[in-house]
Homo-oligomer: A and B are copies of this chain.
């Protein structure tokens, strides 16, 4: 348990696995919270995700959404249809490639995104007791 080399590696691996397990637990916990969370803004989980992906003033092609969401391009069509019907996003033709349509937030979309994620970035209090070192560590993890 206190050997200089081999055992230390083992402990390092154990810690990594434990950390990963905790992150997974965090992920599934958030996954449970997201539906009722998003419902406050009339947003489904995927719609929250899409809103998170499209940054204001930074349009992205629809194909990029399909990749990031791990779903077929055909599903993005309906997804964007509903968001566009609510006036949150807008389809724009791409000058570079006439096959492509890029998505951008409308003013209302940007406002809603800000509302949703301003609240989201208000951490659950427990996070406010962390040191600068701990914050740096999170940056490392999330690569």
Instruction: Give this chain's copy count.
Output: 2
Minimum C-beta distance from A58 to chain B (A): 15
Minimum C-beta distance from A28 to chain B (A): 5
Q: Check if A95 is an interface residue, CB within 8 A of chain B.
A: no
User: B139 touching A126 by the CB < 8 A rule?
Assistant: no
* Per-residue interface assignment for chain A, residues 36 to 52, with 1 indicating a CB less than 8 Å from any chain B CB and 0 otherwise: 10000000010001001
Q: Check if A99 is an interface residue, CB within 8 A of chain B.
A: no
Residues A67-110 near B (CB distance < 8 A): 68-71
Take A28-B52, A28-B53, A132-B11 as given contacts and tell me if A16 and B71 are in contact as well, using a CB distance cutoff of 8 Å: no
User: Can you list 8 A-B contacts with CB-CB less than 8 angstroms, sorted by A residue number?
Assistant: A11-B132, A15-B134, A16-B127, A19-B123, A19-B127, A22-B139, A24-B117, A130-B137
